[in-house]
Each structure stands twice: as structure tokens, then as C-alpha cells.
Structure 1
Amino acid sequence: MALKIIHEDQHIIVVEKPPKIPSQRDKTGDKDMLTYIGEYLQSKYPETKNPYVGLIQRLDRPVGGVMVFAKTKYANQKLSEQIRLNKMCKVYYAVVCGVPDKEEDTLVDYLKKLSSVNMSKVVPAGTANAKEAILDYQVLETVETKEHGVLTLIKVNLQTGRHHQIRVQLANANLPLWGDNKYNQTFVKQKEWTQIALWAGILTLEHPKTNKNYTFKILPKEQYPYSLFQKF
């Protein structure tokens, strides 16, 4: 795979993660983004035996979009602190089945991770090991399709980062993601594989060295079902 580099300097490298590539090594052993970045840096700087690559954010394997990696331990520390303090802004584009009741809304739920099946579920507040999950969404456009009925393109701003958060919260709000074979019952029943319609489109961060704000944006306009929509 040829890396699609959006930005690179001495401290960070920002790339487009393709769907189906793991963010980091998982039990499948398939090649992951950390490995691709490391190989790229090794090729670019052959005098460096083991180039440093720090994983700052994680995207679910089926999800594509913008990812930032640290090239130094200092950058890793500074960017990880931004994640911890919720100062890094992550905006996703999702195609959901159905139409939201509101043009804009904030979803607040408590999620519990089910490690045995690699899923999460919404549970009552106070449930052991449950974590608060908050996201904001905005409706961008709605279209009618023959195969799947009404589909809606929404923009999602994550306030927290939980396991499968967007997928679980939207499904719980009766707005399951198109193509999601874990949380959308229509696609769970299908035998053929479909690519989940969730994309990390915008990432805004404070540069770890200059402290300037950077915004990186990639839109999947040519990919189905995003190609059905015009109002990104």
C-alpha cells in the first residue's frame, strides 16, 4: 500500500488511513498503519535504524480517514495530552439509515465494552465499567434509495472517544450506520460484506512544537454511499 501523506514535518506525520487496515497490530496479524508508517520512515531516513512512530488516535478497522502519528516522543506526549484533555477535535461523516428527528442533536449515553464479542452496548448510568459517551451530530442531506430506503448524511463531532462509540450511539438512536454488520440489523442479516459508511473527515490539533492550530480534512465524496450526496 502506498501511503497517502497529507502533512509531514519533523514532529508529526498526517496520513489517510484506508478502510480495512488496522490502526495497530491486532490478532489477525494483518499489516497495520503503524507498520506502514515505520517502513515509510525507514525508507526515507535509512540512516535511522528504528524510526520512532507514536500512535495518537485509533480508528476502527472498517473506518477510513485522517490519522496523525508522532515522529518523536515529545510530540507523542504533547498530542496524547491533547487527547486526554479533549482538545483534539475529531469530526466524522456518517451515512445512517433513516432520518433523525432533529437537524442537530447531542447524544449522551453510557457504554459498556463487551470484549468477548468486540462490541459495546448502551447501559444505564452507574453500571459497572460503563463510560459516558457524548457526541453531537448535524444533518447535512437526505436522499431516497431503492435498495435501502431513506439515507441521511450527518456530520458527527466526538466529545469522548469510546469503543465503537459512533456506531453504538447512533444505532441506539434508531439511526444505524449504512453497512454496519455489527449494529445495523439489516446488514447483520446480509451474507455479503459491505463497507461501513463512517469516515474520519476532519482533524484539528495543536502542533506539538509550534502550538499553532492545524486542521486536516479529507472527504470520501467518490465512495458509495457518500457519492449519493452533494452537501458535504
Structure 2
Amino acid sequence: MKKAFNVIYEDNHLLVVNKSSGILVQGDKTGDKTLTDYCKDYIAKKYAKPGAVFLHPVHRLDRPVSGIVVFARTSKSLERMTALFRKREVHKVYWAIVKRKPPEELGKLTHWLVKDAEKNTSKSYDKEVPESKKSELHYKRMGKLNDHWLVELRPQTGRPHQLRVQLSAIGCPIRGDLKYGFSKANPDGSINLHAFHLVFVHPVKKEKLFLRAALPEEPFWEQFLEFEQTKSSNRHLDQTFSG
């Protein structure tokens, strides 16, 4: 059985992990064990903490998505990290694999999304409609391999299912994402969307963190590693695309 997560960064204020696909970040009606539960168990065991562990996810990743998730270990860091996300001072980089070639090498997508809580889906519109939220992302085509394209995504906003819906809206649904129009599921139920890099200023120590979550240990993903020419030593990560 694959591990629920691997630790990327840890101190007294934050726990940052690389989540496996298929794990919920926070509880839902399935009642399945969550990433939050797994990480609380890890903290309790590692630091022999009796009683309840304070640990809160600062943002979410959809269940079939893998990659970086940040947890706050104190109420102070939770408050400050939440503010960083709200003010868009956290730079996020995702990798997605799609079958259809995205129209431009470097592009920007702007849509207005409406969430349907009942169906747990979001719908995109090209202009503002009632209850819609503006959603923006920049993308770069990284290259083609075995009939699929690797796309790097940089969301400017953080809407539910945003990357999945916006790529689907331009006719490039993410591999494995049946919910948003891909033709067939991945054998393990994942979709090929990975939260790869996160760059932000530490909420307490005030130093800049450059965090990277390794791609899933899975043959289809691993072949795309050749496109990662810019390793995490690239300190301009928040301004540039990889490669």
C-alpha cells in the first residue's frame, strides 16, 4: 500500500507534506481517514504528544490530486498562512498531463466559475454570470511525450476545481479526470495533476521557502521528469516557468 504522505518540510510552526492521490485533505461524507488524521498521528507519535494535536490544513487539494499541502502547527501560523494565501502571496506551480495540445505555448486563461455544491463540480463561463467567481491561471506547454502533453500551471486564484475546469474549458481535460471530460479513468483513480512547487515567506521566521513535492512514484509520471531542467536551486521560481 502506498504511503498517504511524505514530509517535505517541518518545524515548530509548519508541517508541509507531499500528499498521495486518493487521500482526502479534510473529512467529507465518506468518513474516510483524511490527510489531516494521518498527519496528526505522525506528529503525536514523533513528538510523543499526549492529547489532541493542533494541526490545520491551510489550503486543500482535491482527492485525486497529488502534491504539496501545508499544515499549520500553531494558531499563529494558521492565521498568518491563511492571510498569505488570501493576499495571493503564495506562488503555486502545478504540473498536469493532457491528451490534447493546449493552443498556445504560453497562455493565460480567464473564466468565471460557478460551484455546484450538490454535485461537487464547478462550471466555467467566458463572462461573468450570477454567483460566479473570476478565475485566472497562466500556463506553459512543457513538451510532448507518448501522445500526451505536459503543461505547467500557475493559478492566480484558488477556486474549487479551478485547474481541472479551466483546462477542460479549452478542450484539454486532465488525464484521468472523468468528471471534467477525460475519456477514461486512470487505473488507480488518480488524475494527472500534481502540486509541484510552493514558494512563500515563512509566516514566523520570515525566510523565503522554496518547496518541491517529488512527482508520484508511478511510471507514467516519472517519464515526464526529463522536462524538469530547472531544479529547485532556481531562486527565480516565483517569476519564471521551469525549463
TM-score (norm 2): 0.87
Residue in 1 that maps onto 2:30: 28
In structure 1, runs of 5+ residues without a counterpart are: 145-149
User: 2:4, 2:20 within 8 Å by CA — same for their partners in 1?
Assistant: no
In structure 1, what is the Cα distance between the partners aligned to 2:24 and 2:59?
12
Q: How many matched pairs?
A: 225
What percentage of residue pairs aligned between the two structures are identical? 32
Q: Distance in 2 between matches of 1:104 and 1:16?
A: 27
Alignment match, 1:167: 164
Partner amino acid, structure 1, of 2:198: L
For residue 39 of structure 1, report the CA deviation from its aligned partner: 1.2
Q: Identify the match of residue 112 of structure 2 among 93, 110, 113.
A: 110
- 1:195 CA drift (Å): 2.2
Counterparts of 1:191 and 1:89, CA distance in 2? 28
Change (3 A) 1:162 1:70: same
Q: Report the alpha carbon displacement of residue 193 of structure 1 after superposing the two structures with TM.
A: 6.1
Alignment match of 2:39 (pick from 37, 48, 58): 37
SS at match of 1:137: strand
Q: CA deviation at 1:200?
A: 0.5
- Rounded to whole Å, the distance in 2 between the matches of 1:48 and 1:208 is 26
Deviation at 1:118, TM superposition (A): 1.0
8 A Cα contact 1:95 1:225, kept in partner: no
Once the two structures are superposed, residues 90-132 of structure 1 have per-residue CA deviations (whole angstroms, 9 ceiling, x without a partner) of 1100001111221110100000011121111112533111000
Deviations 1:115-161 (A, max 9, x none): 121111112533111000000111111124xxxxx310011011000
Query: Residue 172 of structure 1: CA displacement?
Result: 0.5
TM-score, structure 1 as length reference: 0.91
Residue pair 1:65, 1:201 contacting (<8 A) in 2 also? yes
State the AA in 2 paired with 1:93. Answer: W
Looking at structure 2, the residues matched to 195 and 38 of structure 1 have their Cα atoms a distance apart, in angstroms, of 24
Cα distance in structure 1, aligned partners of 2:149 and 2:160:
23
2-side partners of 1:41 and 1:85: how far apart? 29
Question: Where does 1:38-57 land on structure 2 (aligned, <5 Å)?
Answer: 38-57=40-59
Amino acid at match of 1:160: T
Q: Do residues 216 (structure 1) and 211 (structure 2) align? A: yes
How far is the alpha carbon of 1:62 from its aligned partner? 0.3
* 1:231 to 2:233 alignment: no
**Which residues of structure 2 form unaligned runs of 5+?**
229-243
Match of 2:180 among 176, 179, 183: 183
Paired with 1:231 and 1:124, the residues of 2 have a C-alpha distance of: 31
Give distance in 1, aligned partners of 2:19 and 2:13: 19
Q: Deviations over 1:48-94 (max 9, x none)?
A: 42121021010000001111100000000010000100001111000
